[in-house]
Structure 1
């Protein structure tokens, strides 16, 4: 998620995807491939069994559909909890849809919320599943690749999962920023060579987490060919005054 925090609490087992996931995948995957005809490379790099982290760049909301629908095994990822808590028909549709693509609901934010999200990712991996994560924390609005948060390294070092870097190209053209519609555009999904980050040290070492994260981001960069931002990606300002100030005094945290 978006934080560098690493939780200490022991997680409880997570529930694996069930009937709704496999039904949704069975319907949506062939349809998506027929309509968008994505170029997919490196599917063989994803281990068929055992815990694996798919660490990807993040360009658009549809990235969370593209990865599960192009990977050769079921993939789970974290999504904001509001997608699962709605009421009525709309709430049922949202809940069913996100369940069908392997999403797991969590509260988004910093501090304890970020730790809870990492715990959820840890539970997924400890059930020998594939887990997709965006080390940048939030999607890139300008197309550049931002610095990775070290939560991805903590997950890999704690669970022993291998990391498969993912480079998405062109997904921002399917759903440009601010657009609610979907456009048919050519995209590329590159799955890279698995990375064993254990060579950097233990999960308790801040240096090991930073080195492992930088290695993962370098691999993503090689696959996506994006311009490097060299800074962390921050969430857009929320209030009107903050938005105005951000326009007048643009800033990036290094």
Structure 2
């Protein structure tokens, strides 16, 4: 697994640490998070630092807590304002631990909101992306390679994606938004040459049905004939587009 894919998995796992300690994950999500922590010493350290702070939350009187919107406002307060607002909620622990808990909870709430929005907008967004991709290609006279493509489902999968390319003389950076992924499954992104051989851009594990990735393949875009991604457990293509 490459360094970039490890960073993507750690980012997703760290966003789940707060909800894990608060019991807000499903059994499947909790199992995946604990499996990652067991294999990643950095995430294990983060979890160990959060545990004593989260334990203190059980001593807080719920009647004194603000509504969700007020809690988000509380995060923007200075340390002096936070102390004056509610001294009981500021434990005698390193300040970065409090921020880690709040950041983890905020990221998890944002992920849940994004999943709901994308589930509702996936179909129209995919159609719009295809139109935009066509307009971009038509509107770039003299360009020998497309800058954006919509990946269609193949092999009976439900996965689709929109990719944007940033090219150099020797590499292609691929920025991808994907939908219809299988939670917990591992995927690999690639560019395919005209002779059918493929150059990998990176791998990742799906944490929910959607994702945003920025990966790089060591192949110029004008030497590629197709782009797509594959499930790593059975090596089946799930989405692709010709270039």
Structure showing greater Rg: 2
User: Per residue, is there more strand in 1 or in 2?
Assistant: 2
Higher RCO (CA-CA < 8 Å; seq separation 6+): 1
User: Per residue, is there more helix in 1 or in 2?
Assistant: 2
Q: Decide: shared fold, TM above 0.5.
A: no
